[in-house]
Structure formats: structure tokens, C-alpha cells
Amino acid sequence: MTTTWTMSRALNAGLDAALAADGKVLLLGEDVGPLGGVFRVTDSLAAKYGPSRVFDSPLGEAGIVGTAIGLAMRGYRPICEIQFDGFIYPAFNQITSQLAKLTARHEGKASFPVVIRVPYGGHVGAVEHHQESPEAYFAHTAGLRVVSPSTPNDAYWMIQQAVQSNDPVVFFEPKSRYWPKGEVDEESPAATLHTSRVVRGGTDLTLVGHGAMVAMMLQAAEVAATEGTSIEVVDLRSLSPIDFGPLVRSVEKTGRLVVAQEAPGFASLGSEIAATVAERAFYALHAPVLRVSSFDTPFPPAKLESLYLPDADRILEAVDRALDY
């Protein structure tokens, strides 16, 4: 059965399905209970499952994740919500020094199935600490799985797959994509959790990115098509581990690659992708791998975000440079 939902509604339905499927699944965070979260992703779940399974936490991200770790130790499968991307840093030690290390510390004899949901990214006109893209910090940390859906269908299935994982998963939700609608297949997922996918075929150049940038890349590909350029678009979906197979095969076909991301460019996921593709597909490349990113500065005031964040025009400028080689 196919349904048309926004991403926020798809996530709500996915969380509902996860809670219904396993009584050990719990949901906690700031305002996730009766209010339903600031983005209403958890709307009505507290009323349906009760305060013992969906409950508000104190305002303290380290405590939220620390509580989730303790619950996982006792056999539960907690889902934490970090209300905004910039609020995750007080929990950084719990995530990177504790949660990421615990399975290895127990030599695999214990699992810690914690999901940490993080609304992230810009394009929403918010204030400081509310429009960041911190995914590289966590993709860099061994022991964590890191994913980000770009469509309602992926959001619906990937949140359920993340909950089923026995490893901790940091689940980045592109908040600027919460409201656009898309089709959701409620019967079968399009792909497994850590699979990248070609979402638009092409022959002249490959664009790759994740989260909100996928819609931006598709927009750029549409414009390029009107000018006679055929662009293939790859949605990473998983940021750690990265499924490089579809991306490398695409580059071997097109010979050119542009990586797009909202995060600043230095020491980023885009850097890792560029290096890996250069290693694995060097002789197929007709041009250097180019990167399009935000600037290496703190996120500016909201009125300047359109100058800071990459858009279709900046992606197309990189496409033109790659094609000129």
C-alpha cells in the first residue's frame, strides 16, 4: 500500500510501528511526550503507548543519552530525541566515549541498541545552535552507525531498521525536509539501512550527497538537463558505514564527481568521499573530484543563511568546472 506523507508524518508512523512491534522499545527526550516534540514527530505516541514507554526527560542531553545507555544495558531498545542539532554537544562524551565503545569494551558479549534522533541542517531560518550539520563528528567515531534519510519513504523504513540494529545508531533527520510530501510504500523498504542508491540516472557527471542535499542535487540535475547535461544523482543514505559500491560504479560510468553537503568542507564527509573515490576509481576520472559545501565558519545569522548554505546554483557552478576539464 502506498501513502503520501510528509517526512515528519512518516517518521511518526515508523516510530509507531517500532513501538508496536517490540515492547522493549522506549522513546525519551525533551517534550517528546504529550507535546509530541517541537516538530510533532512524536505526536500522539505518548497517548497511545503511555508514559512508561514514551516520556519526557529533563533538559539535559548528557542525561538523556546516559539514561538510554542504562536502559540498553537492561535489555531495552531506547530511542532518544535530541531536540536540535546544536544541542547534541553536551551529550558528546556519553555518545563518543561511552556508547560507541561499550560493545568493544565487552568484547561483543553485550549490545547497546540505542537510536539517537537528531533534527539537523539549515534552510529553516532558525537561530544559532538550531541549524548545524555535525554528522562528521559521529561518522568519525568507530562504534557508531550514522544514517540520514532524504525522503519520507526512507524515513519511514530507516527509523524502523535503526531500532532493530543491535549497534548504536545516530539518526540525522534533515529538518528542512520534514514538510514536503512524498510517497511511502508501507509494505516493503526500498533498501537496507546501510545502502546508497542511485536516485536519478545520468551519463556526464555524478552528484553525491545526503539528507536535504539530495533534493538540491535533483533540482540541479533538472536544470542541467535543460542545457543538455546528463547528471546521475547518488543518495548516500548511510554516512557510517558508507556504501561506496553504487557511487564508484557511477563514477566509472560518468568520469566526473561533485560531492555536495550542508556541513563545512574541511575534514568532512565530502573529504572522505573524495579521497576514497580517487583511490578506487582514479583511472576512470576525467577531472578532479570537486566539493560543494558551506563555508568553514560558524553558522551565520538566519538572514545570511542563503549566502552560507550551498544551493542548486553553487552545485551547477561546480558541475560546469568539472565538465571544463
Tell me the catalytic residues.
130
Nearest C-alpha neighbor of 133 from the set 31, 285, 266: 266
Dig out the grid coordinates for 246 from the structure. 553504487
Nearest C-alpha neighbor of 129 from the set 77, 80, 87: 87
Nearest C-alpha neighbor of 259 from the set 197, 205, 299, 295: 205
Q: Are strands 290-294 and 257-264 parallel, antiparallel or unpaired?
A: parallel
For residue 304, the 8-state DSSP code is G
Contact 90, 61 (CB under 8 A): yes
DSSP 64-90: HHHHHHHHHHTT-EEEEE-SSGGG-GG
Q: What are the residues whose beta carbons fall under 8 Å from the beta carbon of 122, sequence distance 6 or more?
A: 131, 133, 176, 262, 294, 299, 305, 308, 309
